[in-house]
Structure formats: structure tokens, C-alpha cells
């Protein structure tokens, strides 16, 4: 399949875009990466995702697919001959989707709260929330991985990709806050998982450089704080 | 071995209604358990310890929660009839996209149309109507979002129709004049037994909300 058949509109810091890139790498799909500039949205993006105007957008034969987890599932189905991303058992699929949804709906918003916390007390409360979430994910990891390296077992799967997309931001949060969110005492499984995931061939070349991400996060956090502090209309 | 299927639900919940419709479409026999959300059963707390919310589908003692995830599970397990999702990967991704849109927009905006006041309420009602209109465009000339028969998006969306009297009466605005196509679609869905048996009457839902507001001391 020609490289131009598959395009991904995205940006290097986005955890959601990273999910799509890892999935494409798992399937060894060649694609054109169309990098958006922060602060402006390309015409192609606005045309391909008119409803949300957000990245990532996968363009397959010029047909757009939006929402990162929907993109990952699409990739899994279309390139079916490659390694499977979702498990084949319906119950295991439901569990993987459940935790991916938890990461998106509960855990990541708590992570963002750490960044925009206006004072120390708020920050501490947010850190507690994130840590509680990680405890749940650690428990899930122990159950689902069954002693293997990844949520997907020997190979990275849907939940590895869904959660792993945030690994860079997790590291930046740890660095900026001087906190060890993944640690030997509370999250030994995830601590090892994180290293295995980051080193995985489908991940290592697309995982953003932590230093670069930390610099970028300063810009983003300033924007988020300004938006949070702005008086509600 | 016979399948054991239990649904933990709460009759006015649009999320619960989605699962009821799907199980009916697939002809699955199940035990319906109505939860008292102010006094959650040990079974609910045990089967959904993370969110403690309904609906929860318990299939041969394995629990599945989050309504859209439950729908996909039902579609994959009982795959011999009434497919909810198309088999074509691209069309499937589009159905998932619109179901996700319904989840992101319709519930929260719908709630805001009658629980907020002043400018916030006006803005919510305006955006709600815009979202419904966007869905009308997506529906196009098809009888259902799923095409000739109801599908994933229809099942995800139609339960909110049972709350329209709540939105309109308590929110003091009208939906049908702006979105007649949507109303026509909802009524078409209700012609199917799986839907009409799963959705409570709009007035019943409204009475319940009014009662609940009184109980909670909100006028």
C-alpha cells in the first residue's frame, strides 16, 4: 500500500496522536505524518474533523477517522494480518475498553488538575487523585497481564497503547513536581511496564523526548492556567 | 449450559435503556434488577467497584460496565442476529464516532437545558439544538442512523428522547419546531418493540424528576 494512502494529522506532544502512531507501528503501516502547528489549525484538519476540529485524524484513502481510540480500533481491523491490538475474547475486549475509558475520563483529567492547580493544597489533592487512579491501574495490570510484560501479554495491546500514550506526560509531571507517581512500593508492575513500553520497537521512536516535552509543557500549562483562572462568563 | 444474564439498571436511565434495547434486539433473556441509586445493592458495588454506576451487565457472573462498552460486548457475543455495528471497518468507525459524539454532548447539554439558569441555560439550549441538528444532517435521508434498520447510533441516542418532556417542560423551550426530522426519527424508532418496551413514557420520566426535585428540596 502506498504511503500516501495513509496519513495521520497530528502533533508530536499529543498523547492521543501517539496512540495512533504506535498502533500504525505495531502493524508496520507506512504513513505520512502531517504535523499541525500549535496555535493554528490547518484547513485539512478543519475539513477532516469539522465536528471537533481536533487531532489525531487518520486519513485512509482520504477518508477521515477521528478520536484516538476509534482510530486504534480501526487500524486493528483494517490491518488484520498484523499483530492483534485488541484481544479476541469479547469479555477481555470489554475490560480493555473499560480501562482505556477510565484513563480518558478519570485519570487524565486528574493529571491535568495537577498542572493547573492554583495552589499547593489543590496540587496535593490532585496528586492524591492521580495516585489513587494509578493504584487501580496497577491492580488491573496485575490481573490482566497475568505475569507478562504488557497489558496485552507478551505483545503490546489496546490498553498498553491507550495508557502508554500518556507516559511522556506522566514523566514530565513527575519531573516538574519532584514526585514519583510510578514507584516500587505502590506500583511495581506499572513501574517495570513503563520501561518495557518505552523501549518497545513500536514506541521508542515516536515517544516524545522528555526534555523537549517538559519545555513544551511550560507553554501548555501556562495556557491551561490562564484559561482556568479566567472569570467564567 | 444456559446463559445467565443479569442487568443492573435504573428505569429512567438513558444509559440503561441503551442496554435494554440491545438485549431485546438480540432476543436475549435476562433478569432485570432495578437499583435504588440512593441505596446501592452489594451486587452493584461488587460488580462495578470503580464507578459504582448502572448499567452493569453480568453475563455468567462476569461484569461489564459503561453502556457503550456493554453495547459492543452484546454485539460481539450475540453476533447471530440484529448486528448493531456495520461489518465494514470504515462504517463501523463512523458509527462509533457518532455514538461518542452523543456521549460527549447530548447527556451533558440535555442536563444543562433544565438544571441551569439565565445565560448558561440559554447557551446550553442553543448548543443542544445545534447538536441535534448536526445529528439530523448525519441521519440524512436514511430511516435510521443504522440504515434500513436501527443500529449502534440509534440505540445510543434514542433513550434521550424519553427525557425530552423533562428538557422542554422544566427547561421551558421547544425542540420539535427546530428539529422535526429528529422527532420523526425518534417516533420511527419507537415503532420497534425493542425500543418501545425499553423506553419509559416521557410523562413518567418527567413526573419522576419533579418528585425527585421536591425530595431534594430544589423547588
pLDDT 10s per residue in chain B (219 long)?
579 999 999 999 999 999 999 999 999 999 999 999 999 999 999 999 999 999 999 999 999 999 999 999 999 999 999 999 999 999 999 999 999 999 999 999 999 999 999 999 999 999 999 999 999 999 999 999 999 999 999 999 999 999 999 999 999 999 999 999 999 999 999 999 999 999 999 999 999 999 999 988 775
Cis peptide bond upstream of B55, omega within 30: yes
Mean pLDDT of chain A: 94
Task: Out of A65, A77, A90, name the one closest to residue B77 (CB).
Answer: A90
**Which long-range contacts link A221-228 to residues 24+ away (Cβ below 8 Å)?**
A221/A115, A221/A116, A224/A112, A224/A115, A224/A116, A225/A115, A225/A116, A225/A118, A228/A116, A228/A118
Beta carbons of A93 and B72 less than 8 Å apart: yes
Give pLDDT, residue A232. Answer: 54
Q: What is the DSSP string of A46-99?
A: HHH-TTT--S-EEEETTEEEESHHHHHHHHHHHTTTS--SS-SSHHHHHHHHHH
Question: ipTM of this model?
Answer: 0.96
Fold adopted by B5-77: Glutaredoxin (3.40.30)
Q: For A50-85, write each residue's pLDDT tens digit.
A: 999 999 999 999 999 999 999 999 999 999 998 999
B174 to chain A, minimum CA–CA distance in Å?
A: 24
| CATH number assigned to the domain covering B89-215 | 1.20.1050.10
User: Which three cell numbers mark A75?
Assistant: 487500524
Residues of chain B positioned with their CB less than 8 A from the CB of A90: 73, 76-77
CATH entry 1.10.150.120 includes domain A90-211? no
* Smallest CA–CA distance from B103 into chain A, residue: A105
Class of domain A3-78: alpha beta
Chain B residues within an 8 Å CB radius of A66: 97
Burial class (CB in 10 A: 0-12, 13-18, 19+), A108: buried
Same fold for the pair A3-78 and A90-211:
no
Distance from CA of B73 to the nearest CA of A (A): 6
CB contact under 8 A, A66 and B97: yes
Q: How many beta-carbon contacts under 8 Å exist across A and B?
A: 53
What are the phi and psi torsion angles at A37 (to 5°)? -90, 135
Instruction: Give ranges for CATH 1.20.1050.10 in chain B.
Output: 89-215
Contact A60 B90 (CB under 8 A): yes
Interface of A with B (CB under 8 A): 51, 60, 63, 65-67, 70-71, 73-74, 77-78, 90-91, 93-94, 97-98, 101-102, 136, 233
**pTM score above 0.90:** yes
For residue A76, give every residue at least 6 positions away whose Cβ sits within 8 Å of its Cβ, in sequence order, or none. A23, A27, A84, A85, A86, A158
**Cβ contact A98–B97 (<8 Å):** no
Touching check for B47 and chain A: CB below 8 Å? Answer: no
- What does the domain layout of chain A look like in residue ranges? 3-78, 90-211
Model pLDDT, residue B2: 79
Q: A115-128: b or e for each residue (b if 16 or more CB lie within 10 Å)?
A: bbbeeeeebeebbe
Q: Which residues pair with B144 in a beta bridge?
A: B147
pLDDT at B33: 98
For residue A177, the model assigns a pLDDT of 86
Closest residue on chain B to A140 (Cα) = B50
- The yes-or-no verdict on residue A233 having pLDDT over 80 is no
Over the stretch A78-121, which tens digit does the pLDDT of each residue have? 999 989 999 999 999 999 999 999 999 999 999 999 988 889 99
Over range A139-155, report the average pLDDT.
97
| CB of B89 less than 8 A from some CB of A | yes
Q: How many CB atoms lie within 10 A of CB B155?
A: 31
Do the strands B56-59 and B31-34 form a parallel or antiparallel pair, or are they unpaired?
A: unpaired
By the CB < 8 Å criterion, does B52 face chain A?
A: no
Amino acid at each position: 500500500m502506498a504511503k500516501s494512502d495513509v496519513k495521520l494529522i497530528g502533533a508530536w506532544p499529543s498523547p492521543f496522536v501517539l496512540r495512533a502512531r504506535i498502533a500504525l507501528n505495531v502493524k508496520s503501516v507506512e504513513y505520512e505524518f502531517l504535523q499541525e502547528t500549535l496555535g493554528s489549525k490547518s484547513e485539512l484538519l478543519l475539513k477532516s474533523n469539522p465536528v471537533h476540529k481536533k487531532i489525531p485524524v487518520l486519513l485512509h484513502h482520504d477518508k477521515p477517522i477521528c478520536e484516538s481510540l476509534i482510530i486504534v480500533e480501526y487500524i486493528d481491523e483494517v490491518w488484520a494480518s498484523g499483530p492483534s491490538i485488541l484481544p479476541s475474547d469479547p469479555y477481555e475486549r470489554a475490560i480493555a475498553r473499560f480501562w482505556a475509558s477510565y484513563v480518558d475520563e478519570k485519570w487524565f483529567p486528574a493529571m491535568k488538575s495537577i498542572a493547573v492547580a492554583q495552589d499547593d493544597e489543590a496540587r496535593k489533592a490532585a496528586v492524591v487523585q492521580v495516585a489513587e487512579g494509578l493504584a487501580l491501574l496497577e491492580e488491573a495490570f496485575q490481573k490482566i497481564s497475568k505475569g507478562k510484560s504488557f497489558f496485552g501479554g507478551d505483545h503490546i495491546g489496546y490498553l498498553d497503547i491507550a495508557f502508554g500514550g500518556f507516559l511522556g506526560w506522566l514523566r514530565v509531571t513527575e519531573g516538574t513536581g519532584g514526585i514519583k507517581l510510578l514507584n516500587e512500593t505502590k506500583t511495581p508492575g506499572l513501574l517495570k511496564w513503563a520501561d518495557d513500553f518505552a523501549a518497545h520497537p513500536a514506541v521508542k521512536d515516536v515517544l516524545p523526548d522528555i526534555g523537549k516535552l517538559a519545555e513544551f509543557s511550560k507553554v501548555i500549562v501556562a495556557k491551561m492556567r490562564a484559561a482556568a483562572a479566567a472569570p467564567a462568563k | 449450559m444456559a446463559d445467565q444474564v443479569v442487568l443492573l439498571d435504573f428505569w429512567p436511565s438513558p444509559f440503561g435503556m441503551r442496554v435494554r434495547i440491545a438485549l431485546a434486539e438480540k432476543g436475549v433473556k435476562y433478569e432485570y434488577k432495578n437499583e435504588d441509586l440512593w441505596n446501592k445493592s452489594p451486587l452493584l458495588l461488587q460488580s462495578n467497584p470503580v464507578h459504582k454506576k448502572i448499567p452493569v451487565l453480568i453475563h455468567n457472573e462476569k461484569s461489564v460496565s459503561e453502556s457503550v462498552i456493554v453495547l459492543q460486548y452484546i454485539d460481539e457475543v450475540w453476533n447471530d442476529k440484529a448486528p448493531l455495528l456495520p461489518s465494514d471497518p470504515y462504517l463501523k468507525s463512523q458509527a462509533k464516532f457518532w455514538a461518542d459524539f452523543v456521549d460527549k454532548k447530548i447527556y451533558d447539554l440535555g442536563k444543562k437545558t433544565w438544571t441551569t439558569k439565565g445565560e448558561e441555560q440559554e447557551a446550553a439550549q442553543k448548543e443542544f439544538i445545534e447538536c441535534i441538528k448536526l445529528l439530523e444532517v448525519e441521519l440524512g435521508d436514511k430511516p435510521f442512523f443504522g440504515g434500513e434498520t436501527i443500529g449502534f447510533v440509534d440505540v445510543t441516542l434514542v433513550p434521550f428522547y424519553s427525557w425530552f418532556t423533562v428538557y422542554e417542560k422544566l427547561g421551558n423551550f421547544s425542540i420539535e419546531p427546530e428539529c422535526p426530522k429528529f422527532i420523526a426519527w425518534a417516533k420511527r424508532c419507537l415503532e420497534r418493540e425493542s425500543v418501545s418496551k425499553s423506553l419509559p413514557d416521557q410523562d413518567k420520566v418527567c413526573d419522576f424528576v419533579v418528585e425527585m426535585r421536591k425530595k431534594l428540596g430544589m423547588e
